[in-house]
A and B are shown apart, each in its own frame.
Chain A
Amino acid sequence: MVSLNQLIAVCLLYVIGLFAVAFAAERAAVRGHGDWLLRSPLVYTLSLSIYCTAWTFYGAVGYAARSGLEFVTIYLGPSIVMIGWWWILRRLVRIGRSHRVTSVADLISSRYGKSNLLAILVTTMAVIGVTPYIALQLQSVTLSLSIFASAETGAAPGADPINSAQAAFWVAVGLTLFTVLFGTRNLNVNERHHGVVIAIAVEAVVKLLALLAVGIFVVWGLAGGIDEAMAQIDRSPMGHWQVEGGRWVALTLLAAAAFICLPRMFQVLVVENDDERHLQIASWAFPLYLMLMSLFVVPIAVVGLDLLPEGSNPDLFVLSLPLSQGQSNLAMFAFLGGFSSATSMVIVATLALSTMVSNHIVMPIWLAYGQNTVQQSGDVRHVVILSRRLSILLIISLGYFYYRLSGGGGALAAIGTISFGGVAQFLPALLGGIFWRGATRIGAVTGLCVGFALWIFTMLLPSFGAGAALSAATFEQGLFGIVWLRPEALFGVRGLDPTVHAVIWSLSLNTLSFILASLFSFPSPMERLQGAQFVNIFDHSSPARGWTASVAASEDLMIMAQRILGAPEAQAFFRAQARLQEKSEGLPEPTPRFVQALERELAASVGAATAHAMVSQLVGGASVSVQDLLAVADESAQMLEYSSQLEIKSRALTDTAAKLRRANEKLTQLSHQKDSFLSQISHELRTPMTSIRSFSEILRDAKGLNPEEKTRYASIIHSETIRLTRLLDDLLDLSVLENGEVTLNQQSGTLQELLDRAITTASAAATRAIVIDRNRSTENIQLETDLDRLVQVFINLITNAQKYCGAEQPELKIRTRLINGCVEVDLIDNGTGIEPESRDLIFEKFSRVPGQGGEGAGLGLAICREIITRLQGTIGYMPDTPGTGFRITLPQTHSVQERKTKTLIDQA
């Protein structure tokens, strides 16, 4: 049997051992030895295991015994983060390193314009949120001590063999001392606590081995092997897969959020990170560690429920199982494991919180209300150290009081969940800050306050039980008697599990108000500057240019730096900066770059907001210069500008290209037209000349021609000459019409007279008679236009009908009408009409309808169209008539005068 005193002695020895390890590690770090271990991914991964606190060590078994497999969610969340959200972590680490971030509060405040308000808010919330968690550790250590005591005294389980309150008090005192000694020996948080980290790594190994040892003992020693253990699990209620979807999702989400937001996790993940690449290894190694930690949870729970008497606390199965079997050494090892889990968590958590409290609450107050400004002599460092030590005391005291208040009776996992819920409220502001440029300080403050208020109301206060913090009436009837303000059924939503209910409402309303307030508020220049740097961290990791000019004297800065960093460090820093400026001796010039570097150096000790406040005391506050604003504007505006310019240019280029293409097409077309025109002219001229030449040679050379032949050949020559002449006339006419050089003579007459003239002329030249069908009564329409030209068109159309109408008894129908001052004349023959595919072409030069023969050059209709266009009318083929039909439409009065006047007005 192990006596309580023996146990305490072993604990003390263990702690001293840890001290030795930490001390050796720090010495080694200072000398530059042992980097292979201190800066190894293994140590980094093991240090992440402070996620596994006494909750995981003891509480997971209790959780499993109470709620079955649901305990897995607590491991699932962080595994998802490490594996799936690796890119978020990488971004956080990069931001943390490049901006020398000291805590999660520092990160959020820094992102939203180095806001002190936000820093204080986040710090307060973190302290409140983590308090139950620290209470949980106190409770677990006290419980484990009491188990040993009861085993020693033989008291019944459930009784209080030791004075729990007293025990918890002494545990708290011990932890405070431990943390102060461990964590606040050097100031610069960002220098990294190599000692602490290595001690945590050792504790990680101890707790893992202890839990594995108990697990192996239970499976092989008590259950009798894997098969039997599995069979036993199958018999127990835990073997049945009971999954409540809502709770699983909510708890996994909560664990994932807490893994990022918990101050102690942020400390080891981001602040203590030496190398971004360690994340890659940790992304699989840490989930592996979690898997090993959870391996034996179910067997221990099942065997514990089986072997131990009814009413034993399942949270302590890890200890009570070996004890009940008389395995006191194993029990001692298990106790050390639990002790390791509790202490490592408390040390890192209080360290992280105390940094936040001193940097974001104590230091700003001291700077604002102490009459001393930073220029006064004296070392500020003792203020910082003292405030940190007091903060540690305060935080552990809070944990202790929570433990006393909550009665120390709650299940460990339930307490842990409450804590997770509190810190998870940082998530929207944190993720929004590093991914969304539009997130503003107002948005972050609003979201945090809403989320945190809901958390307090729905999770923290109800955790004390009905009638303690909240009256039973509030639970029943809602806050102030308003029904929809019941803490476990907000807005009348009932039937949800309390945890799911709280997580859903607090996180969703938090996110919603964060986004809405961000959208409706306007960020300050500093916020824009920082926002740009955080969101685009991978584009430019160079520091922000925060200080405008050399207002601050280097001496003042030196004095201030010595007081915060310590004289040797400050001098070394100034020397290094002077060398950077290529000054062999003396102080560096207070260039913006130097002041910026100094601010970062100070930020590593006192946080961004405080460091910023200190430097602005000396430099004069003008912290955002026009250049800075331009730098921010550059990013967005310049990009916008560029892209819109590019867009305009590319559009212009596309337009130009299209224009060129069109012009080119037109030119090619024109060139083709010219070629085919010349070719056509050549053909039209050569054809009659061939006949003329041939027959004239026959007349000249051939002997023995009879007179009829002579006459015939001479008349062929004659007609071909006339054809040539007509062709030339038509060409000239068309050319004149096309160039617009034609002079129109305005005359007046009736349509009837015009048609009479046209028919007379056409009939005189015709070789074949055509019957003309007119409706003379409708033709009495007075026209005022170039009548000669119009007659020319009619003659052309009538002649075409005479020549090409294929009917046996050709007939041409002429119909006229007057509609709204427009004259319409239809000329329709009774022939076969023109094939649809040829109709488009008939008005083109030299186009002749295939298969019609005839000696025309194909210019007639082209001329008609030109003339009618000049007369401001239109001519078209009538597709729906049985034969070939043309319709001419032109204004009754074509005023040449009017057009001229109009042109003159246009020109004037």
Chain B
Amino acid sequence: MSKHVVLVEDETNIAEAIRFLLGREGWRVQTLANGATAVEVIRKAVPDLVMLDVMLPGKSGFEILKELRADAALAELPILMLTARGQSRDRDIAEDAGVSRFMTKPFSNEEMLSAVRDLTASGTADA
């Protein structure tokens, strides 16, 4: 069974690029453009990986992150955060909230893919 990723990203072009890249790696990519329903969707889907943008309509990436981490069932879920706001303060907030990996846009495709691989490999090892 192919691995499942939930991608929360409101920029359609970026979402398309990631979908293309991960699709070629064999991922099933589920895209969400709105933050408001993200937690609900993720809780139902129980994906192998979550990719989160920070600035989202409806609910910010940080809030989604905190809510996910507050749920014991999702405590170990690998979460990769992508943000276009490159300040270190954002990184601190994300790490405090328990992010698995934090990446600044723009990223190179290779970098992103290796991060995804890292996260899911360690996740498998843990499991």
Contact = CB atoms under 8 A, between A and B. Distances in A.
A686 B106 contact: yes
Nearest to A691: B13
B105 A686 contact: yes
Contacts of B33: 853
B26 interface: no
Interface in B50-78: 55, 57-58
Given A694-B14, A694-B109, A851-B58, A682 B86 contact: yes
B46 interface: no
Interface string A252-273: 0000000000000000000000
B10 interface: yes
A698 interface: yes
B24 interface: yes
A687 B58 contact: no
Contact of B87 (A679, A687, A694): A679
Interface string A650-692: 0000000000000000000000000000010011101111111
A716 B33 CA distance: 18
A691 B108 CA distance: 10
Contact of A853 (B16, B57, B85, B104): B57
A698 B58 contact: no
Interface string A679-713: 10011101111111111011001100000000000
B17 A694 contact: yes
A690 B107 contact: yes
Contact of B105 (A687, A698, A716, A720): A687
Interface string B6-22: 00001101101110110
B11 to A, nearest CB: 6
A716 B84 contact: no
B109 A698 contact: yes
B10 A694 contact: no
B87 A689 contact: no
Nearest to A716: B13
Contact of A850 (B11, B20, B58): B58
Interface residues of A, number: 25
A90 B20 CA distance: 102
Interface in A84-110: none
A690 B14 contact: yes
Nearest to B84: A686
B55 A683 contact: yes
A697 B111 CA distance: 12
B11 A698 contact: no
A716 B16 contact: yes
A679 B109 CA distance: 24
Contacts of A686: 84-86, 104-106
Contact of B84 (A683, A702, A720, A853): A683
Interface in B91-114: 104-110
Contact of A698 (B21, B34, B87, B104): B21
Given A850-B57, A850-B58, A851-B57, A687 B11 contact: yes
A689 B106 contact: yes
A689 B84 CA distance: 10
B85 A679 contact: yes
A716 B19 CA distance: 15
Contact of A693 (B11, B24, B87, B108): B108
A434 to B, nearest CB: 73
A690 B21 contact: no
Instruction: Determine the main DSSP class of B at the interface with A.
Output: loop
A679 B88 CA distance: 11
A804 to B, nearest CB: 13
B20 A690 contact: no
Contacts of A720: 13
B85 A682 contact: yes
A698 B86 contact: no
Nearest to B20: A698
A688 B11 CA distance: 9
Contacts of A852: 57
Given A716-B13, A851-B58, A690 B105 contact: yes
Contacts of A701: 109
Contacts of A689: 105-106
A691 B11 contact: yes
B64 to A, nearest CB: 15
B69 to A, nearest CB: 24
Interface in A838-872: 850-853, 855
A687 B10 CA distance: 11
A445 B86 CA distance: 91
Contacts of A702: 24
A687 B108 contact: no
Nearest to A676: B85
B85 to A, nearest CB: 5
Interface string A704-728: 0000000000001000100000000
Nearest to A709: B20
Contact of A690 (B55, B85, B106, B110): B106
B37 to A, nearest CB: 12
Interface in B27-54: 33-34
Given A698-B21, A701-B109, A720-B13, A690 B84 contact: yes
Q: Which of A679, A690, A702 has the most CB of B within 10 A?
A: A690
Given A682-B84, A683-B85, A851-B57, A697 B105 contact: no
Contacts of A716: 13, 16
A693 B18 CA distance: 12
Contacts of A695: 13, 17
B28 to A, nearest CB: 19
Contacts of A690: 11, 14, 17, 84, 105-107
A779 B104 CA distance: 51
A850 B55 CA distance: 11
A697 B13 contact: no
A511 to B, nearest CB: 77
A282 to B, nearest CB: 79
State the 10 A-B residue pairs at the shortest beta-carbon distance, nearest first. A686-B84, A694-B17, A691-B13, A690-B105, A690-B106, A693-B106, A683-B84, A697-B109, A689-B106, A686-B105
29 contacts: A679-B87, A682-B84, A682-B85, A682-B86, A683-B55, A684-B84, A686-B104, A686-B105, A687-B14, A687-B105, A689-B105, A690-B14, A690-B17, A690-B105, A690-B106, A693-B106, A693-B108, A694-B106, A695-B13, A697-B110, A698-B17, A698-B20, A698-B109, A701-B109, A716-B13, A716-B16, A850-B57, A850-B58, A853-B57
Given A682-B86, A690-B11, A851-B34, 19 more contacts: A682-B87, A683-B55, A684-B84, A686-B85, A687-B84, A690-B17, A690-B107, A691-B11, A691-B13, A691-B17, A693-B107, A694-B14, A694-B21, A694-B109, A695-B13, A698-B21, A716-B13, A850-B57, A853-B57
Interface of A: 679, 682-684, 686-695, 697-698, 701-702, 716, 720, 850-853, 855
Interface of B: 10-11, 13-14, 16-18, 20-21, 24, 33-34, 55, 57-58, 84-87, 104-110
